[in-house]
Amino acid sequence: MANLELTAEKYALLKTFIDENRSETSGLMPVLHKAQDIFGCIPIEVQKFISKELNVSVSEIYGVVTFYSRFSTEPVGDHLIGVCLGTACYVKGAQKILDELQSALKIKPEETTADGKFTLTATRCLGACGLAPVMMIDDEVYGRLTPDMVPDILSKYDKEETK
Amino acid sequence: MKKSVEELMKIRQETLKKMELRENDAHCRIVVGMGTCGISAGARPCLTAIVDEVNKRGLSNVQIVQTGCVGMCRLEPMFDVIIGDKKYTYVDMTPEKSRQVVVEHIVNNRVIHEYTIGEEEKE
Amino acid sequence: MQYYRAHVLICGGTGCTSGKSLEIKAELEKQLVTYGIENEVKVVMTGCFGLCEAGPIMVVYPEGTFYAHVQVKDVKKIVEEHLFKGRIVKEKLYYEALDEDKVISVNEVEFYAKQKRIALSNCGVIDPENIDEYLAKDGYQALIKVLTDMKPREVIEEIKKSGLRGRGGAGFPTGLKWEFASNYEDDMKYVCCNADEGDPGAFMDRSILEGTPHSVIEAMTIAGYATGSKKGYIYIRAEYPIAVKRLEIAIKQAKDYGLLGNNILDTKFSFDIEIRLGAGAFVCGEETALIESIEGKRGMPRTKPPFPAEKGIWGKPTLINNVETFANIPAIILKGGEWFGSIGTEKSKGTKVFALGGKIKNTGLVEIPMGTTLREVIYGIGGGIPDNKKFKAVQTGGPSGGCLTAEHLDTPIDYDNLVSIGSMMGSGGMIVMDEDTCMVDIARFFLDFTCEESCGKCTPCREGTKRLKEILDKIVAGNGTIEDLDRLENLAGYIKDNALCNLGQTAPNPVISTLKFFRDEYMAHVVDKKCPTSVCKDLLQYTITDKCIGCGSCAKVCPQGCIEPLGKEINSKTKRRQYVIDQNKCIKCGACLEACPPKVKAIIRK
């Protein structure tokens, strides 16, 4: 499991954002996006904090956090791998890419490796259908994949950790 | 800065000039021979001079393109100036002469006959 | 004014960016300096060119030279040969851009020559991060026209005259939607742009926002004027970081020029736009769910009526249009509703952008007049199916649509025709499938999608899609019965009639249409327990024939260790005992098939 640090600095960052954007029509979503950015996830402690700041009940916040797939309550790995399972990618063999990643990382989709390095997810269409099948590691998109490319791509991230 | 309608129109006109190159209907085309022979004979400085002169005079609607060896290596550096269906071939150029051609031929519409060969070939 | 003798346009869409077009741009700028021609050649990063198959794309003007699959290592050569010496690097040209020895310019290549671009007209032509280039391409002229000499009513009449219908899926007449929103009086009204493009296989909205963000901003401002609202929201997927960034830049530039904000162009009209990010929920593409999400709630659809035009964001009258719909507005205002209405078919006017994907040669975006046939799109512009495979079906309309077959190839594409043959326009995704695609598996794939994306508010969708998927799971696992096909049909009809929102009502469409057109494939799965395309693993069987020479290559690679030399026969040449697969342990990975020497080919898959 990746590390989860709920430091005072991070809370302060979130507080500043909330204060700067406080208005009647600001809504909960921008705050949750910010929290996800700062903490890497939105655990119950953070939800309680937001609840106090915005005067919205924790149950409502919890409902919203768990509804949207971009918000998570548990920390994700250092690198987030998203394999596109949109139609175009699926027709072009994305399932094989996902299978290969599962056997290489020894985890199932929505799980994190024991060393906290990778989290594997199956995502919806990334809109890069012209390059199908594709996957995204953090902000980098890899296109026209074949299963035998997977180990090379992963090793790139392994190396950079040990540097 | 907030812009008025007139200012917006002005920006539009100016940017349009800059982007004219991406349309295919230039008024005037300059085709510079940039084969190995042309480059070794000094076509590069000529090209730079032409671009610089066009720039200085703020000419728009001029296309400058390069081409390979045209087969008359002894006359290099050389370039064609094409306006409408008239094509003039300037040979044995220097940067200085190139500038003259831009000014006389393109700006003042006076062909410098002493520098050309094979006059008024149809394209 | 700086004169450049050449402009190099590099595609900065998501597809090409993932092919490292940013690094290509950096390398290009570096090489131009090396050759000392950085003041003669201008580098422009544009939006998506649409032909993602050929990416990363680079186009050099004035010639219109179309380079495809450009890599960082090719840049030096292109600079040295083409930009410095003037010799086109022929081996990097797009394959159609070279006819014998003649170089064909980008606009004459078949893929582009057959299109008619209105919504995409600026994509791949201008620098999306430069408002001046948008202005040069008649940008904001429509806004100026509207604010200086049109009344709001006249604007709406013009849109109505054009016959434009919503490009997001349902195809509701846009002019009427504007009229409804303008009819409700309130102290606050909103204009909202739905950029939560969720249909898998559709990416035209992303490309428009990346390629010409100002078009959408201009159109929203016009809509604000026409409906009497002061505030706009763009609700966009967080999965589109490049589009978000370009929108932010565009909004800032528009504000700087006074084209957004208070008293636009010194009139009494004020309008402002705010971006809201989605958070990965497909259902938020449904307009009332989107409104809930903007308000900070779970994205669950509301019951209609009241429609958003009456009670939308924060309970106020709201106009919601899709990105592509907005992108058509400036052209309609400038060239007139009649001009737009002259394109397309009787009931579907104008053009539509389609995203071609799947088993098709030219994957990418195409914009064509309504009424073009599927054949023209797939074989004419799309270049047909790769590897000489046979066309089987094309899936349109995303998870809400259906599959069309070879017999529909000559149907003119418009809203009503697609619905009448059991699919829908949807947002314009077109996924082509060839003989290797299993239609039962595809139906299951879509159900998997809708199951997971169902918001859970109404029972028919929440429970119904799950049951549909369970039956399909059963069929692809080889445990289906003929009765299951009837159950599928009944349940699909029930969900269609009873779900709350459009997502739920259309969720069974993939099942209904595949059952209708590919019933024989379902029958093969449930009666013969075979998958005709060898896609469904559980229905496959690998066996070793008597061609086996007993080399043992297959046994070595088998992850289950279930292949052993236990055959009755001994190969006459090699004197080795033949191998057998233990079917009970086999996981059907296919490793043995690949390991068997090509000369022998003793393993077969059925």
Q: What is the DSSP string of A18-38?
A: HHHT--TT--SHHHHHHHHHH
A87 and C398 in contact by Cβ < 8 A?
A: yes
> Among B23-32, C57-66, C224-233, which is the least confidently predicted range?
B23-32
* CA end-to-end span of chain B: 48
From C438, which residue of chain A is nearest by alpha-carbon distance?
A91
Q: How confident is the model at residue A158 (pLDDT cuts 50, 70, 90)?
A: confident
Residue C317, pLDDT above cutoff 60: yes
Residue type, C230: K
Residue B35: how many other CB atoms lie within 10 Å: 20
Residue C76 burial by Cβ neighbours in a 10 Å radius (0-12, 13-18, 19+): middle
B51 and C256 in contact by Cβ < 8 A?
A: no
pLDDT in the model for residue A44: 94
Residue C305: how many other CB atoms lie within 10 Å: 9
Predicted structure pTM score: 0.88
Residue C302, pLDDT above cutoff 80: yes
pLDDT over 70 for what percent of chain B? 92
Domain membership of residue B12 (yes or no) is: no
Residue C53, pLDDT above cutoff 70: yes
Per-residue pLDDT tens over the stretch C84-95: 888 889 999 998
Tell me the CATH architecture of domain C131-340. Answer: 3-Layer(aba) Sandwich (3.40)
CA C455: distance to chain centroid? 23
Average pLDDT over residues A21-49: 89
pLDDT in the model for residue B73: 74
With an 8 Å Cβ cutoff, is A126 touching chain C? yes
With an 8 Å Cβ cutoff, is C190 touching chain B? no
> Among A89-103, B32-46, C444-458, which is the least confidently predicted range?
B32-46
Q: How confident is the model at residue B25 (pLDDT cuts 50, 70, 90)?
A: low
B22 and C125 in contact by Cβ < 8 A?
A: yes
**Nearest partner of C497 among C445, C489, C404, C457, judged by Cα:** C489
Q: Where are the domains of chain C?
A: 6-108, 131-340, 351-434, 439-526, 541-606
Top-confidence residue, B14 or C151: C151
Q: Where are the domains of chain A?
A: 8-67, 79-162
CA angle at residue A143 from A108 to C50, to 5 degrees? 135
With an 8 Å Cβ cutoff, is A19 touching chain C? no
User: In the A/C pair of chains, how many CB contacts fall below 8 A?
Assistant: 136
CA angle at residue C20 from C17 to C25, to 5 degrees? 90
**Nearest partner of C261 among C253, A98, C208, B116, judged by Cα:** C253
Average pLDDT over residues C582-605: 88
From A136, which residue of chain C is nearest by alpha-carbon distance?
C18
**Nearest partner of C363 among C107, C15, C11, judged by Cα:** C15
pLDDT in the model for residue C492: 96
Chains A and B touch (3+ CB pairs under 8 A): no
Pairing of strands A135-137, A140-142: antiparallel
pLDDT in the model for residue A78: 86
Pairing of strands B62-67, B28-33: parallel
Residue C1, pLDDT above cutoff 80: no
Domain membership of residue B5 (yes or no) is: no
With an 8 Å Cβ cutoff, is A15 touching chain C? no
Residue A56, pLDDT above cutoff 80: yes
Average pLDDT over residues B48-58: 86
Residue C182, pLDDT above cutoff 90: yes
pLDDT in the model for residue C86: 82
C85 and B34 in contact by Cβ < 8 A?
A: yes
pLDDT over 90 for what percent of chain C? 68
Residue A9, pLDDT above cutoff 70: yes
Q: Which of A157-161, C2-6, C232-236, C405-409 has the highest mean pLDDT?
A: C232-236
Q: How confident is the model at residue C424 (pLDDT cuts 50, 70, 90)?
A: confident
Per-residue pLDDT tens over the stretch C118-144: 999 999 889 999 999 999 999 999 999
Residue C125: how many other CB atoms lie within 10 Å: 21
**Nearest partner of C51 among C168, C196, C207, judged by Cα:** C207
Per-residue pLDDT tens over the stretch C250-292: 999 999 999 999 999 999 999 999 999 998 888 999 999 999 9
Give yes or no for a cis peptide into C305 (omega within 30° of 0): yes
Residue B122, pLDDT above cutoff 50: no
What was the ipTM of the complex prediction? 0.85
d(CA C27, CA C436): 41
A67 and C277 in contact by Cβ < 8 A?
A: no
pLDDT in the model for residue B121: 47
What is the length of chain A? 163
CATH 3.40.30.10 fits C6-108, yes or no: yes
Q: CATH: 3.40.50.300, 3.10.20.600, 3.40.50.720, 3.40.228.10. Which one for C351-434?
A: 3.10.20.600
CA angle at residue C190 from C187 to C195, to 5 degrees? 170
pLDDT in the model for residue A163: 42
Tell me the CATH architecture of domain C541-606. Answer: 2-Layer Sandwich (3.30)
Task: Give the CA dihedral C547, C551, C557, C558, nearest 10 degrees.
Answer: 60
CATH number of C439-526: 1.20.1440.230
What is the length of chain C? 606
Q: How confident is the model at residue C343 (pLDDT cuts 50, 70, 90)?
A: very high
Enclosing domain of residue B89: 24-122
Q: Which of A76-85, A119-128, C138-147 has the highest mean pLDDT?
A: C138-147
Q: How many domains does chain B have?
A: 1
Residue B27, pLDDT above cutoff 80: no
d(CA C354, CA C520): 30
> Among A2-11, A80-89, C306-315, which is the least confidently predicted range?
A2-11
**Nearest partner of C455 among C300, C248, C292, judged by Cα:** C300
Chains that touch B (3 or more CB pairs under 8 A): C
Average pLDDT over residues C338-353: 95
Site from C187, C188, C203 to mutate, A interface, most A CB atoms within 10 angstroms: C203
CATH 1.20.58.100 fits A79-162, yes or no: no
pLDDT in the model for residue C98: 83
Chains C and A touch (3+ CB pairs under 8 A): yes
B65 and C133 in contact by Cβ < 8 A?
A: no
Contacts with A152 (C-beta within 8 Å, 6 or more apart), sequence order: none
Q: What is the mean pLDDT of chain B?
A: 83
Residue C542, pLDDT above cutoff 60: yes
Residue C345, pLDDT above cutoff 90: yes
pLDDT over 70 for what percent of chain C? 100
Chain B contact set for C135 (CB, 8 A)? 8, 11-12, 15
With an 8 Å Cβ cutoff, is B12 touching chain C? yes
Residue C514, pLDDT above cutoff 60: yes
CATH number for B82: 3.40.30.10
Per-residue pLDDT tens over the stretch C552-561: 999 988 888 8
Average pLDDT over residues C33-42: 90
Residue B46 burial by Cβ neighbours in a 10 Å radius (0-12, 13-18, 19+): buried
Top-confidence residue, C202 or A58: A58
pLDDT in the model for residue A1: 43
Chain A contact set for C394 (CB, 8 A)? none
Q: Output the DSSP codes for C440-508.
A: HHHHHHHHHHHHHH--SSSHHHHHHHHHHHHHHHHHHTT---HHHHHHHHHHHHHHHHH-SSHHHHHTT
Domain membership of residue B81 (yes or no) is: yes
